[in-house]
Copies of this chain bind each other. A is one copy, B any other.
Amino acid sequence: MVATPKPVSSVEFWYEFASTYSYLSAMRIEAAAAEAGVAITWRPFLLGPIFAGQGWTTSPFNLYPAKGRYMWRDMERSAAAAGLPFRRPDPFPQNTLLAARLALIGAQEGWVAPFSRAVYTAEFGEGRDVSKAETLVPLLDGLGLAGQQLVARARADEAIKNRLKIVTEDAQRHGIFGAPSFVTADGELFWGNDRLDEALAWAAGTHDGASARR
């Protein structure tokens, strides 16, 4: 008899490059998923269109000053607790259209995870402007990729532009309204870096809330 390998559960990691708490998740998700025995699919998307649908023209952390002040302090504490550098980028939020398009190419070509971590480190670890090709090209080159060519493709390729629109609609179908979000294969949505471990436990079938399964 041949043993059938247990199928690996998976979790979709939905993130927006402008999102501070997505930075915390991006830097720890692979290790946490490996420990839980869960596979991760990286799903870059844009929050802008979703926020616009709620009548917001910028980040809620800018719209609601008390919430914004709290978030920056909380990020400072949370990054320190995670052993991560943290520096507030200016402006906030950053325009992440180019980075998101590049990440979608990376998802097709297998380098989305290291690219995304590099973007987050530049943006929130070093406070750099990741809206600019000048920032992104060296990050891509540093991963052994052809940075200039990829940026040119991200700017021109209609298929990539369309894919980003479809991805954002897909996010809305999942009920996503913020980032980071985690979606399990059975459609459970978890929102926020604080819910990463619950999402992994849900996917692995080891969570405490078994009676809440639909």
Q: A residues near B, CB below 8 A? A: 54, 64, 66-67, 69-70, 73-74, 76-81, 172, 175-178, 188-192, 194-195, 198, 207-212
Contacts and interface: CB of A to CB of B under 8 A. Distances in A.
A211 B195 CA distance: 24
5 contacts: A69-B175, A70-B177, A70-B191, A81-B209, A81-B212
Contacts of A188: 73, 77
A191 B54 contact: no
B198 A67 contact: no
Nearest to A190: B74
Contact of A212 (B64, B77, B191, B212): B77
In this complex, which of A79, A177, A190 has the most chain B Cβ atoms within 10 angstroms of its Cβ?
A177
| Identical subunits present | 2
In this complex, which of A69, A81, A198 has the most chain B Cβ atoms within 10 angstroms of its Cβ?
A81
Contact of A76 (B190, B207, B212): B212
B74 A191 contact: yes
A114 B49 CA distance: 45
Contact of A175 (B66, B191, B198, B210): B66
Contacts of A175: 66, 69-70
A191 B212 CA distance: 25
Nearest to A211: B80
